[in-house]
Structure 1
């Protein structure tokens, strides 16, 4: 993907897909267009976000390499780990595949609804198959390592490794993406692709589905259990408080799900204030933990730091404004993770 001959071809293909997608959208009447865009967003937005996560992770590795940070030792990786160029290559392929499928879906929606409905189904079938393909292709060593890590995350019956914690922590930031994947998969399974039946209030795959809050809570449950496992192994009381941080997300998810199962008056008068209060607790706890524990910053002691007030004495970046900006952005990011979207950002590497 990094070759000079492939770059222009990729850009040309992206431009062609975008042009065809726009023409397909504009060729549909305005009422149907809104439904089509909503459904297209549901099926393809989670996968584009997954690709964006890979692009950003590649940027992280590129920055680590530029600053000569030995991330291989930090992350406890072996010699077969993927470099930033390989991560970007995977992200490029996923981006192109998803974009091509989305363009085909939009183009065929006005011509053959059955053929259009097959596009996201094929996409959601191909990507998992590529991940579990038992052949020595597509970075098989890394794929096996990733699958084993997922098993260890969902079954934390052994000591927690850094990879277990790191991937599980990323999944908590992508909980909304996972819930959208569940909703999209549900609609495909029940034959609701390219139809309007899923707009009905009692739709099996609509907002009333009990599986949506379950999937939202699953990453936090995994991290919660990991913290308990770490406490069992180390007897470090910090693990208990870390587990409590993840536990504060459960009331937010549970009360939010009640919105679709109670009357509007009851929601506005009882559950909505409770939802806001539980979200505030979760946001404040997470913000404190990020600043004090993950970043190892102490505002009170930091006041006496003559070089960088409120920051560490030694910074990764020469400009202290980067760290200050990251700290200011943390409450906003945590707020977005709580109410209710998930953004795969990592600001903890700044300082």
Structure 2
């Protein structure tokens, strides 16, 4: 694994150098300004989540915290920290390699054998495969995610509450995933990046995407936590802290709604420089 970690470090430095040098040299060729960057940003967010999960499992094992019992997991489907890090290192290598190819292809530094959008498409296919295989461990993951989504129709456990809390911090990743679905489904990944059509992305400016899907994505994690708090109150009969937490997430949903539809953000998003796309 040490050899592959070194490869990850070299690829990361290579990508960072090309992005910085491209911006210094041309002023606008950084990968953050490229049309498919949200695909890499979303997949990168999932990759970081996998890194942090591996680090958490390592710390829990190191200090003898029985997280398998706390999360009510099946010991037969739980990977060891070494297995998790082996998987995430491989995923990082693929991610960095495809990002570098995408950047080089769009900058015409390598032969244009395929459209640049094919590289983010291959990354999406690889990420989907990682979410399915190995089936032995992924079935348990998807069952827990389903138990989170169907809140409040099922009683929340400590692990489903933990997952829902993580989801509240992944709103930007979910938005990038939604953008990726539109990018792939519309066929824009096959269009030449120099084409005027590539700059429009009509589906991304549609009413259903901007005013329906994106606000729903912003609200869904908060709604899930709100439903979990109410279900905990029904199951236990304890007002505190369940109803107080429900009120907290109600206020959070109101703030999110005002923020999602406030015209101020649309005004500044049209004037912001390319490097803001990193966020």
TM-score class, shorter: 0.7 to 0.9
Deviation of 1:221 (Å):
1.3
Alignment of 1:304-315 (within 5 A): none
Change over 3 Å in CA distance of 1:203–1:253 after alignment to 2 = farther
Measured against aligned partners, the alpha-carbon deviations of 1:211-254 in whole angstroms (never above 9, x if no partner) come to 22211211111121122222222222122221222222212221
Q: Hey, what does 1:217 align to over in structure 2?
A: 219
Distance 2:8 2:265 in 1: 48
Change over 3 Å in CA distance of 1:260–1:43 after alignment to 2 = farther
Distance 2:173 2:230 in 1: 26
Q: Hey, what does 1:252 align to over in structure 2?
A: 255
Distance 2:264 2:215 in 1: 13
Q: Hey, what does 1:118 align to over in structure 2?
A: 118
Aligned partner of residue 33 in structure 1, secondary structure: coil
Change over 3 Å in CA distance of 1:197–1:255 after alignment to 2 = farther
Q: How many residues align?
A: 255
Deviation of 1:146 (Å):
0.6
Measured against aligned partners, the alpha-carbon deviations of 1:121-161 in whole angstroms (never above 9, x if no partner) come to 1211231233234xxxx3x3321001111111111222222
Distance 1:155 1:89 in 2: 32
Distance 2:196 2:146 in 1: 36
* 1:145 partnered with 2:144: no
Structure 2 residues without counterparts, runs of 5 or longer: 268-277
Change over 3 Å in CA distance of 1:260–1:12 after alignment to 2 = same
Moved more, 250-259 or 144-153: 250-259
Q: Hey, what does 1:128 align to over in structure 2?
A: 128
1:87 equivalent among 84, 88, 113: 84
Alignment of 1:1-351 (within 5 A): 1=1, 7-12=2-7, 14-16=9-11, 18-19=13-14, 22-23=17-18, 26=21, 30=26, 32-34=28-30, 37-39=33-35, 41-80=37-76, 81-111=78-108, 112=112, 115-133=115-133, 138=134, 140-156=135-151, 157-193=153-189, 194=193, 203-206=202-205, 209-210=210-211, 211-237=213-239, 238-260=241-263
Aligned partner of residue 74 in structure 2, secondary structure: coil
Deviation of 1:186 (Å):
1.9
Change over 3 Å in CA distance of 1:113–1:172 after alignment to 2 = farther
Change over 3 Å in CA distance of 1:196–1:86 after alignment to 2 = farther
Between structure 1 and structure 2, the one with the greater Rg is 1
Q: Hey, what does 1:337 align to over in structure 2?
A: none
Higher RCO by CA contacts (8 Å cutoff, separation 6 or greater): 2
Measured against aligned partners, the alpha-carbon deviations of 1:90-112 in whole angstroms (never above 9, x if no partner) come to 22122112111111111211343
Deviation of 1:34 (Å):
4.4
Off by >6 Å, runs of 4+ in structure 1: 261-264
Structure 1 residues without counterparts, runs of 5 or longer: 2-6, 265-340, 343-351
Deviation of 1:192 (Å):
3.8
Aligned partner of residue 212 in structure 1, secondary structure: helix
Are the aligned partners of 1:46 and 1:177 in contact in 2 as well (CA < 8 Å)? Answer: yes
TM-score, structure 2 as length reference: 0.77
Distance 1:36 1:205 in 2: 18
Supply the RMSD in Å over aligned alpha carbons. 3.3
**Which protein is richer in helix relative to its size?**
2
TM-score, structure 1 as length reference: 0.63
Deviation of 1:204 (Å):
2.8
Are the aligned partners of 2:35 and 2:198 in contact in 1 as well (CA < 8 Å)? Answer: no
